[in-house]
Structure formats: C-alpha cells, structure tokens
Structure 1
Amino acid sequence: MTRQLISSGAPWEPVVGYSRAVRVGNVVEVAGTTAQDGDAVTGSDAYAQTKRVLEKIGEALAAAGASFEHVVRTRMFVTDIRAWEAIGRAHGEVFGTIRPATTMVQVAALIDPRLLVEIEATAIITE
C-alpha cells in the first residue's frame, strides 16, 4: 500500500518528524491541529480558534483526497473545558450531519499558551 505524506509546510515538521496528515489506502489520519499560523495564532477565543483548526483540517483532508464527509472520528484537546459549548458549536457547524465519533478532553497545556484547542481527525474514504 502506498503511504502519502501531507505537509503543511511548517518548519518544525521535519525537526519533530511528523506530517500534517498521512494517507494509507483509504484511511487518512490528520495530526493534532491548532490555530497556530507561523508565529501568530488565529483567533483569540475558543470558537474562532476551532473554526481555524477545522479550516486547516479541511485543507489537509483535501490534499489527501478526502473531505469532511469522510471523517469518522475527531479528538478535541482543550485547555479549558468550560469553553466546550463554543468549541462544540464550531465543530457542529462542520460536522452536524456527518456526526463522527468525538472525544473532548481538557489538557493542562498546549505547545503555545495562546492555544486553546487542538483537534485530530480520522477519515475513511469509502468511494
């Protein structure tokens, strides 16, 4: 089976040794994705950051030949579980009818203190 590596172009991908997404066969795994864009963080609140994260996940899925409709699982890591409604609302705007299996957990911190949410996704391409 062919292994397709999708890069976001982030300078730390080769240093850390990871890809934004990996496709093997009909499965696409999207790595933990945040609202960090270079040195900036897009969005100062959990809702805005979640919207940006999902945009970036959508771009990674497209590069792998998939779309949101193929997503079967998401995992959300948040720094303040009290923001669950705002994060959930943004997630629901994308996945409302798709309804992947989803987990949301609070974590002590993400890699940059400005980051409020990180999301992973798994997609299975059925066509």
Structure 2
Amino acid sequence: MTIERVRTDSHWEAAIGCARAVAAGDRVLVAGTMPLVDGVLQGEGDPYEQARAAFGNALAALKPFGLGADAVVRTRVYLTHLRDVDAAARAHKELFDAHPPASTLVVVSGFVDSRVLVEVELEACREVRTT
C-alpha cells in the first residue's frame, strides 16, 4: 500500500511532526483543522464562521488527492461550547447536505488557542476502481 502525505505551512504541523492529510490506500484522513488562514484566526467569536473556515481548510487538504466534499465519509466537529452546536451544524449542513457523511460532534474543554471555538477532522474515500 502506498502512503501519501500532504503538509502545509502550519506551525502546528512542524511543531508536532504531523501532516495535514494522509492517504493510505483508498482512505484519506485529514488531521484536526482549526479556522486559521495564514496563521490568522477567522471568525473570532463566531462559531458559524469558524466552522466554515475550518471545514474550508480541511477540504482544501483533500484537493491534492483530487477529492472534494462528496468524497467525505466521516466528519468530527469539536466545539468548546454546547451553545455553538446549531451554528456549527448549519455550516456542516451547507457543505455536506448533498452527500451526508457519518458525523460526530463533541464538546471539549478547549484548544491550544483559546479563541478557537471549532476544530474539525475529515475522513474521505477515494473512488475504488477495478480493471
């Protein structure tokens, strides 16, 4: 099995020693992704905007593999506040309603950046081709 890795310029990837996304066979895993663009938090204080930005970053990690939202089979949404469930769910529905994945939503005590309200993970599947 071939394993492919995609790295970005994320400070966290370098500090931790991880990749943004890893493909192993037909499975593509996208690491926990925050709503940061060029190191700048998007949507500070707004869980909907943070969810959109975090999912946008995670979906961008699928592009090198030729995949988009329709290939996503599982999402995980981590929130710091129960009150933000509806906002994050609205963002999720807008992106994935046409091809709904299995999804988990968890409320956590916090993230490495206390301004972050939402972090997401994705799992996607490449099309299986037979010859």
Bin of the TM-score, shorter chain as denominator length: over 0.9
How many Å apart are 1:15 and its aligned residue? 2.6
Is contact 1:26-1:124 (8 Å) kept? yes
Q: Does residue 1:113 correspond to 2:114, yes or no?
A: yes
CA offset digits 1:78-119 (Å, max 9, x no partner): 000111111000010000121101010100001100100000
Moved more, 38-47 or 71-80: 38-47
**What TM-score results when the alignment is normalised by the length of structure 1?**
0.94
Tell me how large the CA RMSD over aligned residues is.
1.2
Q: Does residue 1:97 correspond to 2:98, yes or no?
A: yes
Distance 2:86 2:57 in 1: 21
Unaligned runs of 5+ in 2: none
Partner of 1:41: 41
* SS of match in other structure, 1:77: strand
Code of the aligned partner of 1:47: Y
**What TM-score results when the alignment is normalised by the length of structure 2?**
0.91
How many Å apart are 1:39 and its aligned residue? 3.9
Unaligned runs of 5+ in 1: none
How many Å apart are 1:67 and its aligned residue? 1.2
Code of the aligned partner of 1:40: V
Is contact 1:53-1:118 (8 Å) kept? yes
Partner of 2:22: 22
